[in-house]
A and B are shown apart, each in its own frame.
Chain A
Amino acid sequence: MIQFNLDPADSNAATPPFSVSVIGIGGSGTNVIDKIALEGMSGADLVSLNCDVRALNTSMAGTKVQLGKSLTQGLGCGGDPELGAEAAMASQEDIRQLLAGRSMVFLCVGLGGGTGSGAAPVIARMAREAGAFVIVFATLPFAFEGRRRSNQASLALQNLRKYANALITFENDRMGELVVPKKGVQEAFELADKIIGQSVRAVTSLVSQPGLIHIGMDDLVTALRNNDSRCLFGYGLAKGENRAVEALGQALKSPLLDRGQMQSGARNVLVHICGGSTLTLFEIETLMRELGKQVNEDAQILFGAAVDPRLKESLSVTILTSLAKVAPVVEVAAAPEVIAPPVVEVILAVDNPAQAEIPVQASAVAGAVPPPTEPAPTPTAPAAPEPQPPTVVAPVAPPVTKLVAPVDDLDADLFPETVLLSPPEPESPPLLIDIPPAAPVPAPVSVSMALEEFFEQKVVLEVPSSSDVPMSHELPVALAEPAAIEEEVEEAFEESIVEIHTEAPVTEPIPERLIRLERPAVPAAVVPDPVAPAPSRNEMAAAARRFVLSDIIKREAKHAPAPALPAMEYEAEEEIEVAPAPPVRPVPASVSRRAPDYDHVAPIRPIPAGRNTPPPATPFTAAKPAAAAAAAAPAPVRPVPTQQQTFDERLQPATNGGRFDRVKPTVEEGEDLDVPTFLRRKR
């Protein structure tokens, strides 16, 4: 037998160019890194990346990087992936430095939250750009964490798929398989982290260690070559007489390895066996034969074996395989469906591609600093948005510290005009001149300066823009009662903010934005100086203003120009109240045609008699098409609403609220079988 130099330190020294980074992103990623650090990991840098300083401080990683220092001020992302991505972009210098020259990068991340879901795709991309082989271990949230988080997670997963060479997912829901449910929670989580840690170690040693039958990067690439980078992983470690079979059994049982899928889907299976000096050929043989039963006959098995004296009596098996599916087309097609709401698209259309990040920043800032974001100076937006910001900002911006400093300066940057308004009066030319009429308004202490400014602008607005009906309305009210108006205006803003906030993530397919975000980084000259971010923020403010205005305009347009002010207010309020109602109703309606109707029939009866308008008809007519549309595919749409009601009428007295009202309706081929067949046939 050929003698190897088996001292791992030496072997690493002999191959210096091979360097590995293990990066944990976000809270759960950091936990994994801690676990790996605790168990010891040689030959790899452990890095923890997090927005939350507190979590970062307790981390045991060798290198720690705080993401988005100025963006989150050391707090977490609060479950907002947009903010997470933004934070990663903000710290990209640090990250790129970390990634430079790495041959292999492991990303451990818990998806579903803010930092993990947002930052991981960005970082994976950077790692890829730095030329590293990227393996992502992603933990998916528990089902009970709610749909929002799981949506965020799946969105992030889609993005990760593009950038990662290999993507291994661990569903938290499967944690129950690791431990007896009665055992401590801590144990369960620790075990889950441990599994990921093991996997990282196994893959690293697989590639970096010299072996009897060596597996190299090329084999790894072959094993993982497929089009959606999802892959399966199993690791087992056992000692004792029957260690080969036991280790394989463990590996096959690994929660990261879906056995059924491996049997059917795997085309390339990479197997690595590592044992102490007692590893025998017989063991390898039995193990491989056992494995042969588990995989498809025509699957290619890439086999590697190594001897590592550190393992002593134990034997470890690592199985790595990708799922060869021809599915990606579907996924690509599915992605655009998620995108759509037209509202924000307006903004996107207005902005030029370089400013594509605007909505994101808007939402980010809105989350951090809710009240000050106000839509004030509209005239600037249409009049001369492009030239103005640089000139105005120029005097304010130079102090670099401002960018780094927290909240106050942040909105100062956002609204340079406001800053200018207060101290150096002469500098802001046109706006100030218009102030006088608004000045007498008793400015309450609580009214922010921004608000004041808002009123001022309204005076200005009346002249140029004919479309701003609401603004002109609000002015008289403002004179009458400032406190009330303040509330109202703020409400309006909050609404608009909320809208931006909620819509932005949906509208924007993250990947696209990432690509765009990348662009300013390329012209190196622009990045470093603080002027660059400032105009974009300025733009963002402008966009927000435009958005709010257009929103209000739209709303008013619907209700025609009613002259009486109170009526207007009432109408507007009703608009807002009614709008959310319809989406709630159709849900039960689509589930069953009849059962929920029991509840509704009683209240609905009296209403048509009482009111001359048919308001209840709206939710129902709105609901019916929705339900019909849902059922359209399997069954011909035939429910006539009036007839439906007569059935309910008949059912009502005879069955005391329905014999089957408490059970799931029996629906077969679109027909509700709980309705008498006799009546259905007659129809």
Chain B
Amino acid sequence: MAKSNIFVGLEIGTHKICVVVGDAKADGSIKILGVGQAPSRGVRKGEIVDFETAQTCLQEALVRAEDRSDVMVRKVWLAITGPHLESVNNRGVLRIPDDQSEITEDDIEEVKEQASNVAIPPDNIFLHRIIRHYWVDGQEKVQNPVGMLGRKLEADYHIVHGIRNRVQNTIRCLREFPLEVEDVVFGPIAAAQVVLNREARSQGALLMDIGGGTTDYVLYEDGAIAASGSIGVGGDHITNDLAVVLKIPHSRAERLKVEHGSVLPAAGGSEDYIRLEGDATFDGVNVDREVLNGVIAARMEEVFNLVRKRILASGASLDRVAAGIFLCGGTSLLRGLDQLAEEVFAVPVRRSSFTPMTGLTSNFESPQYATPIGLIRYAQRVESERPARTLFGRMKAVMDNVLSGTRLFS
């Protein structure tokens, strides 16, 4: 039995705060030990705006997770999102000196530095620098160039950056518990770890995490990230739209959305009106189903179009998304959303489901938990690479990775 590693994934979402405690075995499997979640307050569009309230909610979620998993949570892997996060692809080029023919580890580091030489706004920090492909002397898509012979080494990196203060604020909020933040991960990248399997990634897939406050996406092409980003529109907006248009209280709007909402004009119950009963502060109204669905559909269609535009603007194309679009996040549970997405993107759409977990997973297969569980998978991968510094160790780690990957995803 392999040595086990316990990781904790934390996602502070606009709608819920979720803590997942998982046990990552070295053979690549993950056992979920416990999940704690609490409705989130004081978070808007994926970012904390009211620290005290958010901390109270987080406390609640943490306590639940600790109770269920019997693990003292001290270090967490944090998923963040927010419209301030941006991504860019950049290529670093390194000429290998004449007297040196073989590409070494140092060259890899060097080319990474060069690729990171992107003009980002002064307030921003790098969140991720993910290798996409290496090119040696123009030869395409080399997985690991160390030890190869070549004159010119190029590396395509996908760089995610965000506003420093916003990222740090969240971390600071956690420090007060105290919770140590092991690493900060861009939400959809974490989710992709579990939602997209190896095959999907290499065929090309688009993951859309439609959450409460933001819609995050990550596009894979040829097994590597081609684009990612976040749009500050999510389920919260739908609720707000309903409240505004139908002139009903916010809480009612939320319930209406969950119970009756759909993006398909004809879908839903048989009656044309939904009766909302009044109470002390609110006179009951009849809600026209057509209006209800129209409001939601207009919003979601707009979001999908935005994602599409963003992806095309970043230079990636949707032609190579062979595996299709994977929807996750709470809002993806909306009725008919997959059909709408299919109309907009003209690519097959599935709601994500993932199964490579053991333990309590059956309760948490819902797409809402993709990100926090993905965090654990991400943590497992990073950790497995971490001790490998020497050439041999690193190769071993890569091999491990490959092996564990195949076992997991095939």
Q: A659-B236, A677-B241 are in contact. Are A654 and B247 (CB under 8 A)?
A: yes
Contacting residue for B249 out of A263, A297, A654, A678, CB 8 A:
A654
Quick one: closest A residue to B248, CB to CB?
A654
Flag if B299 contacts A677 (CB, 8 Å). Answer: yes
> Would you give the shortest CB distance from A348 to chain B, in whole angstroms?
38
Q: How far is the CA of A297 from the CA of B97 in the complex (A)?
A: 12
Q: Is A490 an interface residue (CB 8 A)?
A: no
Q: Which residues of A contact B49 (CB under 8 A)?
A: 662-663
Q: How far is the CA of A293 from the CA of B98 in the complex (A)?
A: 10
Flag if A666 contacts B231 (CB, 8 Å). Answer: yes
Flag if B45 contacts A678 (CB, 8 Å). Answer: no
Contacting residue for A653 out of B240, B247, B295, CB 8 A:
B247
Contacting residue for B233 out of A173, A289, A673, CB 8 A:
A673
Q: Which residues of A contact B117 (CB under 8 A)?
A: 259-260, 263
Quick one: closest A residue to B93, CB to CB?
A263
8 Å CB interface, B28-52 against A: 44-45, 47, 49-50
Q: How far is the CA of A293 from the CA of B110 in the complex (A)?
A: 10
Q: Is B94 an interface residue (CB 8 A)?
A: yes
Flag if A677 contacts B244 (CB, 8 Å). Answer: no
Instruction: State the interface size on chain A (CB cutoff 8 A).
Output: 29
> Would you give the shortest CB distance from A257 to chain B, in whole angstroms?
13
Q: A293-B95, A676-B245 are in contact. Are A666 and B299 (CB under 8 A)?
A: no
Q: How far is the CA of A653 from the CA of B282 in the complex (A)?
A: 12
Flag if B232 contacts A659 (CB, 8 Å). Answer: no
Q: How far is the CA of A677 from the CA of B114 in the complex (A)?
A: 42
Q: Which residues of A contact B245 (CB under 8 A)?
A: 650, 676, 678-679
Chain A 241-265 per-residue mask, 1 if CB under 8 angstroms from chain B, else 0: 0000000000000000001100100
Flag if A666 contacts B233 (CB, 8 Å). Answer: yes
Q: How far is the CA of A260 from the CA of B93 in the complex (A)?
A: 12
Flag if A654 contacts B250 (CB, 8 Å). Answer: yes
Flag if B83 contacts A678 (CB, 8 Å). Answer: no
Flag if B299 contacts A663 (CB, 8 Å). Answer: no
Q: A655-B250, A678-B295, A678-B298 are in contact. Are A662 and B244 (CB under 8 A)?
A: no
Quick one: closest A residue to B294, CB to CB?
A678
Q: Which residues of B contact A660 (CB under 8 A)?
A: 44-45, 236, 240
Q: Is B302 an interface residue (CB 8 A)?
A: yes
Quick one: closest A residue to B50, CB to CB?
A662
Q: Which residues of A contact B45 (CB under 8 A)?
A: 660, 663-664, 666
Q: Is A611 an interface residue (CB 8 A)?
A: no
Flag if B232 contacts A297 (CB, 8 Å). Answer: no
Q: How far is the CA of A660 from the CA of B50 in the complex (A)?
A: 12
Q: A292-B97, A677-B298 are in contact. Are A655 and B240 (CB under 8 A)?
A: yes
What size tier do the contact residues of chain B reach?
Answer: 35 or more
Q: A677-B299, A677-B302 are in contact. Are A663 and B44 (CB under 8 A)?
A: yes
Flag if B44 contacts A673 (CB, 8 Å). Answer: no
Contacting residue for A289 out of B97, B237, B239, B298, CB 8 A:
B97
8 Å CB interface, A614-668 against B: 650-651, 653-656, 659-660, 662-664, 666, 668
Flag if A666 contacts B236 (CB, 8 Å). Answer: no
> Would you give the shortest CB distance from A644 to chain B, in whole angstroms?
14
Chain B 215-226 per-residue mask, 1 if CB under 8 angstroms from chain A, else 0: 000000000000
Q: How far is the CA of A662 from the CA of B239 in the complex (A)?
A: 17
Q: Which residues of B contact A263 (CB under 8 A)?
A: 114, 117
Quick one: closest A residue to B243, CB to CB?
A654
> Would you give the shortest CB distance from A301 to chain B, in whole angstroms?
14
Q: How far is the CA of A668 from the CA of B236 in the complex (A)?
A: 17
Q: How far is the CA of A263 from the CA of B92 in the complex (A)?
A: 11
Q: Is A558 an interface residue (CB 8 A)?
A: no
Q: Is B306 an interface residue (CB 8 A)?
A: yes
Quick one: closest B residue to A290, CB to CB?
B97
Q: Which residues of B contact A653 (CB under 8 A)?
A: 247
8 Å CB interface, B276-304 against A: 294-295, 298-299, 301-302
Contacting residue for B295 out of A173, A297, A676, CB 8 A:
A676
> Would you give the shortest CB distance from B104 to chain A, in whole angstroms?
13
Q: Is A600 an interface residue (CB 8 A)?
A: no
Q: How far is the CA of A405 from the CA of B184 in the complex (A)?
A: 66
Quick one: closest B residue to A671, CB to CB?
B302
Q: How far is the CA of A650 from the CA of B301 in the complex (A)?
A: 23
Chain A 441-476 per-residue mask, 1 if CB under 8 angstroms from chain B, else 0: 000000000000000000000000000000000000
Flag if A673 contacts B244 (CB, 8 Å). Answer: no
Flag if B95 contacts A297 (CB, 8 Å). Answer: yes
Q: Which of B47, B231, B298 has the most CB of A within 10 A?
A: B298
Q: How far is the CA of A261 from the CA of B49 in the complex (A)?
A: 38
Q: Which residues of A contact B301 (CB under 8 A)?
A: 677
Q: Is A674 an interface residue (CB 8 A)?
A: yes
8 Å CB interface, B89-124 against A: 94-95, 97-99, 110, 114, 117, 122
Q: How far is the CA of A654 from the CA of B306 in the complex (A)?
A: 27
Q: Is A683 an interface residue (CB 8 A)?
A: no
Q: Is A605 an interface residue (CB 8 A)?
A: no
Q: Is A183 an interface residue (CB 8 A)?
A: no
Flag if B247 contacts A650 (CB, 8 Å). Answer: yes
Q: Which residues of A contact B47 (CB under 8 A)?
A: 663
> Would you give the shortest CB distance from A66 to chain B, in whole angstroms?
38
Flag if A678 contacts B241 (CB, 8 Å). Answer: yes
Flag if B233 contacts A676 (CB, 8 Å). Answer: no
Contacting residue for B244 out of A650, A663, A668, CB 8 A:
A650
Q: Which of B49, B233, B237, B306 has the most CB of A within 10 A?
A: B237
Flag if B240 contacts A673 (CB, 8 Å). Answer: no
Q: Is A182 an interface residue (CB 8 A)?
A: no
Q: How far is the CA of A114 from the CA of B225 in the complex (A)?
A: 51
> Would you give the shortest CB distance from B74 to chain A, in whole angstroms?
25
Quick one: closest B residue to A261, CB to CB?
B117
Q: Which residues of A contact B232 (CB under 8 A)?
A: 663-664, 666, 673
Flag if A676 contacts B299 (CB, 8 Å). Answer: yes
Contacting residue for A674 out of B94, B97, B110, B240, CB 8 A:
B240
Q: Give residues in A with beta carbon < 8 Å to B.
A: 173, 259-260, 263, 289-290, 292-293, 297, 650-651, 653-656, 659-660, 662-664, 666, 668, 673-674, 676-679, 681
12 A–B contact pairs at CB < 8 A?
A293-B97, A659-B239, A659-B243, A660-B240, A663-B47, A666-B83, A666-B232, A674-B237, A674-B240, A676-B299, A677-B302, A678-B295
Q: Give residues in B with beta carbon < 8 Å to A.
A: 44-45, 47, 49-50, 83, 94-95, 97-99, 110, 114, 117, 122, 231-233, 236-237, 239-241, 243-245, 247-250, 294-295, 298-299, 301-302, 306
Q: A663-B45, A677-B301 are in contact. List 8 more A-B contacts (CB 8 A).
A: A292-B95, A650-B244, A654-B244, A660-B236, A662-B50, A676-B240, A676-B245, A677-B302
A-B pairs with lowest CB-CB distance, top 7: A676-B241, A666-B232, A260-B117, A677-B298, A663-B44, A678-B295, A654-B243
